[in-house]
Structure 1
Amino acid sequence: MARTEYYDDPNAPEPNSMVVAASAVVTNDEGHILLQRRRDNDLWALPGGAMEMNESLPQAAIREVKEETGLDIEITGLVGTYTDPRHIIAYTDGEIRRQFNICFRAHITGGQLEISDESTELRFVAVSELDNLPMHHTQLLRLKHALLRQEQPHLG
């Protein structure tokens, strides 16, 4: 299933669902950030996805990182909330999503890095490389907020 992301686009389709999702900025000991190249749009992104009915948002982030990367993580903080109604995600199955994302900071506690069916590549990326990767600007925004390490999370 393919995915198209729109931002502040008057031609974007009207959303027909709202999804609560969690993502995580996972770093290794060298401070490099774990990113996945998404199979559905070929862009680099943080691991993450929709929260299930029987879990909390931190649990969703932990589960999604495990499913998408094979790594076990521990949540260490909150990067921010990302609820901009101008960001619309359309899927080829007809779902047109307005996403509500909470982005966490996390570190690795175990597991082994392995690609899931949702990605074509996984990589720990140096901060200096982030601007050179094909990435939707909403993902880059989360990364920039994480790197600021502000005392208060981003609220948006």
Structure 2
Amino acid sequence: MYMSNSTGDKPSTPLHSVSVAGAVIREDGRMLVIKRRDNGNWEPPGGVLELNETPQEGVVREVLEETGIHVEVEQLTGVYKNMARGIVALVFRCKPSSGEERPTSEATAVEWIKPEEIEKQMGEVYAVRLLDALDPNNPHVRTHDGKKITSSKHSP
């Protein structure tokens, strides 16, 4: 069944983009983060999913492009929607398999941080994506306005 966001006679096509991000966790519990070159924010590595790839392929590609780290995808840990921009983000817990972290064309810095450092270093809507990946009650489904979480729940 087609659902429209139009209130008039003509149906409109919802405009959403889908992004993927990796909550990459080393054996010592540290998590991989990048300092974005475009805005200077600390975030999990990730980006827009391409039309010809699965979400898992996309997260592997994005993490490698942004950090130099090859990963193995373990599980979906959260679905997050930016209500203001129409971006749906799928976050996957991953484990590193090879590679060396390095700055890239998209990241001025790449670091492994402790879970207790996440909230101090990152904005709420990105910190929660990493912290949710540590919670065994996954996946989480949350909405936000770009800065603050506006709703959240655990999926059954």
**TM-score, scaled relative to structure 1:** 0.77
State the match for 1:22 in structure 2. Answer: 20
Share of identical aligned residues, percent?
30
Q: Distance in 1 between matches of 2:79 and 2:119?
A: 22
Q: After TM superposition, which residue ranges in structure 1, 4 or more long, deviate above 2 angstroms? A: none
Q: Distance in 1 between matches of 2:97 and 2:127?
A: 25
State the match for 1:71 in structure 2. Answer: 69
What secondary structure does 1:31 align onto? coil
Return the structure number with greater relative CO, CA threshold 8 A, min gap 6.
1
What secondary structure does 2:16 align onto? strand
State the match for 2:126 in structure 1. Answer: 139
User: What is the CA-CA distance between 1:101 and the residue it aligns to?
Assistant: 0.5
2:101 to 103, 107, 113: 113
Q: Give the gaps of 5 or more residues in structure 1.
A: 1-15, 89-97
State the match for 1:155 in structure 2. Answer: 141
User: What is the CA-CA distance between 1:42 and the residue it aligns to?
Assistant: 0.8
User: What is the CA-CA distance between 1:21 and the residue it aligns to?
Assistant: 0.8
State the match for 2:79 in structure 1. Answer: 81
User: What is the CA-CA distance between 1:147 and the residue it aligns to?
Assistant: 2.0
State the match for 1:3 in structure 2. Answer: none
State the match for 2:118 in structure 1. Answer: 130
Structure 1 or 2, whichever has the larger Rg, is 2
State the match for 2:150 in structure 1. Answer: none
> Which amino acid letter does the alignment assign opposite residue 70 of structure 2?
D
Q: Give the gaps of 5 or more residues in structure 2.
A: 1-13, 143-156
